[in-house]
Chain A
Amino acid sequence: MSRAAPGSVLEIFRVFNRLALQGFGGVLPVARHVLVDEEGWLDADDFVEMLAIAQVMPGPNVVNLALMVGHRHFGLRGALGALGGMMLMPALLVIGLAVLYGRLASHPIAVNAVRGMAAVSAGLITSTGLKMVPTLFRSPMGRSLALGLAVATALGMLWLHLPLLVVVLVIGGLGWALAWRGTST
């Protein structure tokens, strides 16, 4: 169970605004850091479970996650607050950058800096995947089956290059069935 909760829609807006603006090259690692470690609105298992739903729904994972967290606390207003926080300032910022882009893009220092930032974001997303592994140890289907399905997912994507939809349907369906069997009524 999560230990803390947002006090108002404005706080939801501020927190999602803050984490979106910190998310260079991917918001997911910052979202986990802020929601789980800093604010404590979600515990580690909550985060994985909500992200699971966010990932299999259409729309960007992190935006779906924001909508769901906002909705959980203040209904539609909370969801809109989270969505606004996530999108508004970053949209203005990226448009500003687009206007400046012509001058920045050709500069070798800017190109190298972006490359360095991209390397770190790549490492962060990998690391976020690893941080979610302990949740699998507590899976109702048992730890070895849960770990096996996670490894199968990664191999299906990286090695077999299966279409995402196939991986989602097969592993998702299998996982649901196995968890159903291990869940008491």
Chain B
Amino acid sequence: MSWGALLALFGYFASLSLVTIGGAIATAPGMHRFLVDQNAWLTDTQFTASIALAQAAPGPNVLFVTVLGWNLAGPLGALATTAGIMGPSSVLVLLASRWVQEHRERRGVKSFKTGLAPLTVGLTFATGCILVLPFLRGAEGITLGAVIVIAATILLNQQTRISPAWLVLAGGVIGALGLV
């Protein structure tokens, strides 16, 4: 890939950065249009696999953007897409974070933070439900194994201080045995 194309890649992802409210995955349809449909830099399968891979791997899910860049143009491609998607939003967050810290005693700032708590709780819970639902109404109907695993996860996470990482690993083992 030429330097011009790398720059275009960086520019495109940077232009998406500020609209990734709710996560970069929300802008995936736009990326698909740009990378697969318009420029034919990636195949459909490569695009989907990049998302699946980053979601299964440890770390923030935004890393699917890194995998897309890697598949396009190796290390430089990965750097271009990652820096693009993270750059503008990170600068904005730092500016906001500094402003909030300086004005934390203001009534407007205090009430902003506490007033948004219900939204945060509702969104996090809804995200969990959206991820749980496919297991409850899969192609083959409700899988009892999945229901038990999900219920046990919630119970253990509420009642004990076992690290979530151990629970996920246990889920991997139970899954590998074909029980989910």
Q: Which residues of A contact B (CB under 8 A)?
A: 20-30, 33, 37, 48-49, 51-64, 67-68, 71-72, 76, 79, 83, 86-87, 89-91, 93-95, 97-98, 101, 105, 109-110, 112-133, 135-136, 139-141, 146-154, 156-158, 164-165, 167-168, 171-172, 175-180, 182-185
If A48-B120, A113-B172 touch, does A90 touch B132 (CB 8 Å cutoff)? no
Task: List 20 extra interface pairs beyond A140-B115, A153-B126, CB under 8 A.
Answer: A23-B164, A48-B117, A53-B112, A60-B23, A60-B24, A62-B60, A68-B93, A71-B98, A83-B86, A94-B63, A95-B70, A119-B175, A123-B150, A123-B151, A167-B119, A171-B118, A176-B112, A179-B111, A179-B112, A179-B114
Q: Are A126 and B97 in contact (CB under 8 A)?
A: no
B-chain residues with CB within 8 Å of residue A119 when the two chains form the complex: 135, 146, 149-150, 153, 171, 175, 180
B-chain residues with CB within 8 Å of residue A178 when the two chains form the complex: 115
B51 to chain A, nearest CB (A): 11
Report the nearest B residue to A91, measured CB to CB: B66
Report the nearest A residue to B178, measured CB to CB: A112
Bound: A115/B124 CA distance, A: 21
A-chain residues with CB within 8 Å of residue B170 when the two chains form the complex: 120
Residue B167 interfacial (CB < 8 Å)? yes
Bound: A83/B131 CA distance, A: 26
Q: Are B124 and A28 in contact (CB under 8 A)?
A: yes
A-chain residues with CB within 8 Å of residue B169 when the two chains form the complex: 24, 117
The 3 closest A-B pairs by CB, nearest first: A116-B175, A90-B59, A153-B122
Q: Are B26 and A131 in contact (CB under 8 A)?
A: no
Q: Which of B161-180 contact A (CB under 8 A)?
A: 161, 163-165, 167-180
B-chain residues with CB within 8 Å of residue A27 when the two chains form the complex: 59-60
Q: Are B175 and A95 in contact (CB under 8 A)?
A: no
